[in-house]
Amino acid sequence: MKLELLITTNGFKGTWPAIEYGAWLAGAMQVKATLLGVTENLNPAAIDDHGPLEEVFERAVELFKQNGVVYSLEVQNGEAERVISEKANSGEFITIVSPLGRPQLRRWLTGRSIRYLMETIRGPILYVPESRLPLKKILISIGGIGYEVAAENLAFDVAKAVGAEVTIMHVIPPTNLDYPSTRDVREHVNDLAQTNTLPGRGLRTALEIAQQEGLKANVTARQGHIVEEILAEVREGNYDMVCMGSPYSASGLRQFYSPNVTAEIAEAVHRPVLIARYKRE
């Protein structure tokens, strides 16, 4: 089944990047888009931060028409995070979201909305804190254990549609272990894809698939703190999108004790981040 785009807004002005980016992406990939507007019970103090939903829809419809997008409009009442999650799980969507304008105290107490959405939405999420167009360079971060495969394949589809270049990267984290396999990885940062290590094979396989798809692609590796190294690569490479797997791909208790690297990147990178869970065939 071909994925559709679910573009979301609660009327907060900060959600406009999701609409702008979603309209462009739907046109580029020639897929249908649904614009979901969520009417929430607003605190009177927050009214100035939320434009009327009707006005947002009018602007969005103009964008859809300009990009030749087949679209539908839907409005629901309730808390945006819950409504968006339920709608996203009702079909085959790439859900496009931006910051929902939550007060700082709420973010501090419960975390940012993107973390809840990552946990509850089973399909791919495109988080757009800022719209960065045109899309010329995509960074795909792979962890070497396979959970990034869905995001990787989706990124290739996007790259093909818009003619973007892709870089596939693995970050070697600090470790005190001194097994032969870990030594091989640490000693081959500059040619990791040529090794027979697990991350080396992952890089090589991803590169081969990208090249078979006709993409301009390359691989790279860095060593250090994972979040810091990904952010450094994004800055130095001037990438327009970051693609990562979801920690909720993991089975068992892994997701509860492992750092949520993807969420940390999404909150800090100031670029669109494509997130997808691994799905076993």
Choosing from 100, 127, 154, the residue where a domain stops is 127
The verdict on 29 and 84 lying in the same domain is yes
* Sequence letter at residue 261: V
What number is the average pLDDT over the span 166-170?
Answer: 95
CB contact at 8 A, 238 and 270? no
Q: How many domains does the chain have?
A: 2
What is the pLDDT, as a whole number, of residue 200? 86
CA distances from 259 to 62, 153, 177, 254 (A): 41, 24, 19, 9
For residues 154 and 108, membership in a common domain is answered with no
Check whether residue 116 and residue 210 sit in a common domain.
Answer: no
* pLDDT per position as a tens digit, 104-139: 777 776 678 999 999 999 999 999 999 999 999 999
CA–CA distance, 195 with 180 (Å, rounded to integer): 13
pLDDT in tens, 203-243: 999 999 999 999 999 999 999 999 999 999 999 999 999 99
Tens digit of each residue's pLDDT (9 = 90 or more) over 180-204: 556 666 666 777 878 888 888 889 9
Q: Cα torsion at 260, 143, 166, 241 (round to 10°)?
A: 0
pLDDT in tens, 19-40: 999 999 999 999 999 999 999 8
Q: Are residues 155 and 268 in the same domain?
A: yes
Task: Tell me which residue range forms the domain holding 114.
Answer: 4-127
Residue 248 within any structural domain of the chain:
yes
Q: Tell me, what CATH number does 257's domain have?
A: 3.40.50.620
Angle (CA) 267-146-87 rounded to 5° is 55
